[in-house]
Amino acid sequence: MKKLFKFILNTIPRPILIRVSIVVRPIIAFVLKGNRFTDPIDGKSFRMFLPYGYGTQRNNVLSPSTLSLERHRLLWLYLKNETDFFTSTQKVKVLHFAPEQEFYKRFKKQSNIEYTTTDLLSPLADVKADICNLPFEDNQYDIIFCNHVLEHIPDDTKAMQELFRVLKPGGWGIFQIPQDLNRATTFTDDSITDPKERAKIFGQYDHVRVYGRDYFDKLRSIGFQVKEIDYTNTIAPEWVEKYCLAKGEIIPLVRK
């Protein structure tokens, strides 16, 4: 199964995968029903989660029902338990880059947010736009989600500046990235062009860097206030395992 999923991820374009998964997902979820692991996003349980990874495959990480990964479930738990994102009675404007399937329909149904999605290629995007040249006014959004996007962007400084520009003063955002916390500094090498080698070194064939611990300081240099939240450290170990979270993953919470 691991080889099959690796082949699919590395050969089928992401927009097509999104469309196909809408049809296949209910079938896989039915076959894998059980009680070992639980997806906190929809509350459904399974005997196993699916493997995932463009380079090295991780076992039991892809939820059969929502197709969420560790980072998605962690973000959901944080938003639900530590913020008023789902419960606030004050309507706010939310901008979501490269919207994830597991969040898209749920966020869109919320009456307390004015929800806009954006991406260059995603079929779920309301606005097709380049993150380095956004077609939005200054200080427009109360909340911005930009998760696992910046590692794809050659000029991430410009992208961060655009994120800062369109976020309202007093607004907040979460900008998750794949991160190697053992690295003090971010690694990039434009001379590596072979897709297989890029997947091996950067974790995915279309990533352009591996972020280190300096990621947070780079956000600060743009003007953001940054809080590094190790949310798995506040969750009981048995639930970290039950929800299939990545122990020690940091949530970058930014404010303007």
Q: What is the pLDDT of residues 165-181, one digit of tens each?
A: 999 999 999 999 999 99
Query: Considering only CA atoms, which of 30, 34, 101 is closest in space to residue 69?
Result: 101
The pLDDT value given to residue 70: 96
For 140, residues 6+ apart whose C-beta sits below 8 A from its C-beta are 93, 95, 166, 168
**What are residue 92's phi and psi, to 5 degrees?**
-125, 155
Secondary structure E strands in 71-132: 92-97, 113-119, 127-128
pLDDT for 186 equals 97
126-129 long-range contacts (CB < 8 A, ≥24 apart) are none
| Beta strands, E only, 31-80 | 33-38, 45-46, 50-52, 58-62
Phi, psi of 209 (to 5 degrees): -160, 165
Sign of the CA dihedral running 17, 22, 26, 27 = negative
Tokens of 43: 């509350």
pLDDT score at 119: 96
Full-model pTM: 0.88
The DSSP string of 12-29 is: S-HHHHHHHHHHHHHHHH
Please write down the long-range contacts of 196-200, taking CB distance under 8 Å and 24 or more positions apart: 199/10, 199/54, 199/55, 200/55
Q: How many CA atoms lie within 13 A of 187 on its CB side?
A: 14
- Phi and psi dihedrals of 211, rounded to 5? -75, 140
Given a cut of 70, the residues of the chain with pLDDT beneath it are 1-26, 29-30, 55-56
Query: Rounded to whole angstroms, how far apart are CA atoms 243 and 98?
Result: 23
Question: Which residues have C-beta within 8 Å of that of residue 221, sequence separation ≥ 6?
Answer: none
Do the beta carbons of residue 207 and residue 151 sit within 8 Å?
A: yes
